[in-house]
Chain A
Amino acid sequence: MNAFLQQEAVIDATLPWLEDAQKLGEQPAADWVKALRHTGAEAFAHTGFPHPKQEGWQYTQLRQLTDGDFHYALEAPAFDVNALPQPLLENSARIVLVNGKYRPELSDAPEGVIVMSLMDASVQVEGIEEHLVTVGDLGKAPFKALNAAYTHDGVVVTVKAGAEVTQPFEVLFYNVGDTDKAPALYPRCLYWLGKNSSLTVIERHTGTGAYFTNIYAGIALEPSARLKCYKLEEESATACHFSYTTLQQQKDSSFEGFSYATGGKLSRQEYRNLLIDSGISSKLTGAYLLKDQQCHDFTVLTDHFEPDGKSVQHFKGVVDDQARSVFQGKIHVRRAAQKTDGNQLNHALLLSEKAEASFKPELEIYADDVKCAHGAASGQIDDEALFYLQSRGIPQAEARSLLIESFLNTVLAEVSFSPVREVYEERIRAWLRH
């Protein structure tokens, strides 16, 4: 096939994914939103979904997604409000997005937090496009491009300079799927924390039935801002979840993220953590628990621009049945980023012979005075330890659970907010009873 025909074939395959974006044309929108949609659609039309040979896509096969037929809708389908899960913490305030659309009537934000739908914010909040028109080349990030083509849904969360929000803030993404006409969801979100402010977010993704959600999130932390962001990805068993997060940290800001991933049949969480200035702390940790034929991918880039940054990428996972996990982590240290302390660690516990874990750990360092370490490994349950526990009367299933919990404990210890850590622990115990 010559290059022209090849390009034609890609466009033929990608057009159905872009068709529904025309529905957005009639809606009023800021110029930058229209331009973003245009750039995104154009980029996606030319690339299509990533090819397995493309950098960063060797391990995660997309057939389950690309063979599907997903459609974007302007309105979320009707659903039973009583079916919404209870908030995770009693004392939290919560906002709800249904199929990516912000539902103010179901929402309530903590004092000091301003929440707006993306479209409202796009005309009302000054300087917002800087954080929402994505950094980097859309031609190399097809999911981000596809999301851009549909720029319409999602929320913008802002915290004013100096505000210390103490009440935990839950952001619930509730997705209503459909087997016949499975929805495609393209929310675009922003957390924007002003100078010296602080916030604790619990971000939950859950739903029913089949759907494809493709989220773009920006996180902007101004100097000395502090964000704790605890994610639970518990999508329905037949869903596909893709998210792409760009974290931009300014001087002396700190980020503590934890992602707990058990849902969906095919998922990928990708992060670009940009430590733009000096003195930044950036921790992204997580746990994945996979079974049946689930595939889950964590792809994390931490990029140190300036000196005295501290970063952690620490993930642990448990993979059962025929499930597959992927971890691709890179720490990039630029020439100016002296005294960087970067740590990356990934361990997977394989519970069955057919379970698989793939790793791609990378360090790319251009500064000379840095401390960086990485490691990745998979293993099995220690038979000797299992027998020791059983010989003390602990039934085998319980002994296995105990060993798996203890394996995950070291990464859960990174969660400094204990009410959420306890929620994660309960979730893990429940999963182990599957």
Chain B
Amino acid sequence: MTMLKIENLHAEVGGREVLKGINLTVKAGEVHAVMGPNGSGKSTLSYVLAGRPGYEVTKGKVTFLGQDLLALAPEGRAAAGMFLAFQYPVEIPGVSTTMFLKTALNAVRKARGEKEFSPVDFLKLQKEKMAQLGMDAEMLKRGVNVGFSGGEKKRNEALQMAMLAPKLAILDETDSGLDIDALKVVAEGVNALRSKDRAFLVITHYQRLLKHIKPDIVHVLADGKIRKTGGPELALELEDKGYAEYTGDAALRAGDKSI
């Protein structure tokens, strides 16, 4: 079953075209990795999919579980089963993490026509997921991400994902900022969610994450376009050779007139 279908997607940020014709299809059960040089548009793609204001789609189409994704508000996308783990999670002083999680979880359940969690059931679930991710309960009292270390913020993203149990999770450099042990824990969290009706889009710079979360398909995104698609071996090749092949003249030959 096709979960996500991106067709000829063009998008602008700050008046500049950043995505220049993305085509990508993700089926249920698959894990796709997206790799590419800095500034190539990986985060932009993730924000466009999540519906961030200011990221303007100028051309193309995105279908998510049969729906026109671009017509939905960000909260509608979350309700439909989309989740973005941010590269740079946002700090929200004054809103406690636990309050935030509860509001989010119940909002999503309500939108999906499910019953809201009772306070007890919610706390149980939260406790269980926190334990799995090795998180300290003290963090729940603090404002969302306020004063969290880089690694703690990423774990908090993983916690939200585990609680919201999305259909499609986009992980934007969730590995950056994590130490080796944390990386394993977070990867286990992702693997625990893997199933035949879920899919993942994993954005990363490093093969080390893909050692723990084994991708089915690997894409190279450079200068706003998918330049190559292959199997897990492509990630190893990139680690070895870098992106030289996909930038500059070689990319031009590959047919991008916009460079």
Query: Which listed residue, B51, B83, B89, B103, touches A402 by the CB 8 Å rule?
Result: B103
**Number of A interface residues, CB 8 Å?**
23
Give a binary string over B24-63; 1 marks a CB under 8 Å from any A CB, 0 the rest. 0000000000000000000000000011110000000000
Can you list 24 A-B contacts (CB < 8 A)?
A382-B92, A385-B91, A387-B52, A388-B86, A388-B89, A388-B144, A390-B75, A391-B84, A392-B104, A392-B107, A392-B160, A393-B78, A393-B108, A393-B111, A394-B104, A395-B73, A395-B75, A395-B107, A396-B75, A403-B95, A405-B94, A406-B93, A406-B94, A409-B94
A-B contact count (CB 8 A): 77
Tell whether A301 is near chain B: CB-to-CB under 8 Å.
no
Binding site for B on A (CB under 8 A): 382-385, 387-396, 398-399, 402-403, 405-407, 409-410
- Min CB distance A94 to B, Å, is 33
Size category of the binding interface on chain B: 20 to 34
Of the candidates A385, A392, A407, the one whose C-beta lies within 8 Å of that of B164 is A392
Q: Is the CB of B164 within 8 A of A393?
A: yes
Which residues of B does A touch, CB under 8 Å?
Answer: 50-53, 73-75, 77-79, 83-84, 86, 89-95, 100, 103-105, 107-108, 111, 143-144, 160, 164
A406 and B89: CB pair below 8 A?
no
Q: Is the CB of B92 within 8 A of A406?
A: yes
Which single member of A385, A396, A407, A409 contacts B90 (CB below 8 Å)? A385
A390: chain B residues within 8 A (beta carbon): 51, 73-75, 78
User: What chain B residues lie within 8 Å of A388 (beta carbons)?
Assistant: 86, 89-90, 92, 144
Given contacts A392-B160, A402-B95, 7 further A-B contacts (CB under 8 A): A389-B104, A391-B74, A391-B84, A393-B75, A394-B75, A394-B107, A410-B94
The distance from the CB of A345 to the nearest CB of chain B, in whole angstroms, is 15
A399 / chain B contacts, CB cutoff of 8 Å: 75
How many whole Å from A84's CB to the nearest CB in chain B? 35
Contact B94–A391 (Cβ < 8 Å): no
CB-nearest residue of chain B to A409? B94
How many angstroms between the C-alpha atoms of A396 and B50 in the bound complex? 14
**Bound complex: CA of A390 vs CA of B50, how far in Å?**
9
Residues of B within 8 A of A403 (CB): 92, 95
Once the chains are docked, how many angstroms separate the CA of A392 from the CA of B97?
Answer: 13
